[in-house]
Amino acid sequence: MNLNGKTVVVIGAGSGIGRAVAVDAANAGATLILGGRTAPPLKETARLAGGTEGFVKAMALELGPVRVNAISPGIVDSGPFWSRLTPEGRERMFADFALRAPAQRVGVPAEQANAVLFALTNPFLTGSVLPIDGGALLM
């Protein structure tokens, strides 16, 4: 099956059938738009599908000369996002990440903002996903 050049919207893409549809559609060449109730499962689906990098590259080609870029932030101490964990769970997760990551710490929002500003102000950067993740992709 060839879905090159097609955009597929998958609602309920965070798990189960929706996740399987998204991954298969991405493997067939589709650009994905994922919807669901919570962000973490959707991010996992995007990771499994390769949904962000492919989307950024496809949109950069489609919209050029408009530039399209994204960041891949990894674990960032961004405040309210982590409030669904207990304080102990949050600290345990951050400590575990810091032990394994080459940067030996979690990120902070200002580091992500700096990367976005770089992408916004560099007129020759397009179709890129910048990993601002403390080396998490190397783990």
Per-residue pLDDT tens over the stretch 81-97: 788 889 999 999 999 99
For residue 118, how many other CB atoms are within 10 A of its CB? 14
Domain holding 73, by residue range, is 67-139
Both tokens of 32, joined, read 């994905």
Closest CA to 129 of 76, 60, 38, 39: 60
Residue identified by tokens 């995007």 is 46
Mean of the per-residue pLDDT values for the chain? 88
Q: Describe the chain by its helix, strand, coil percentages, rounded to 5.
A: 50, 15, 35
If asked whether residues 12 and 41 sit together in one domain, one would say yes
For residue 55, how many other CB atoms are within 10 A of its CB? 22
If asked whether residues 83 and 130 sit together in one domain, one would say yes
Per-residue pLDDT tens over the stretch 70-127: 888 889 998 877 888 899 999 999 999 999 999 999 999 999 999 999 999 999 999 9
How many domains does the chain contain in total? Answer: 2
If asked whether residues 61 and 72 sit together in one domain, one would say no
| pLDDT range class, residue 56, cuts 50, 70, 90 | confident
φ, ψ of residue 97 to 5 degrees: the values are -60, -45
Contact 134, 107 (CB under 8 A): yes
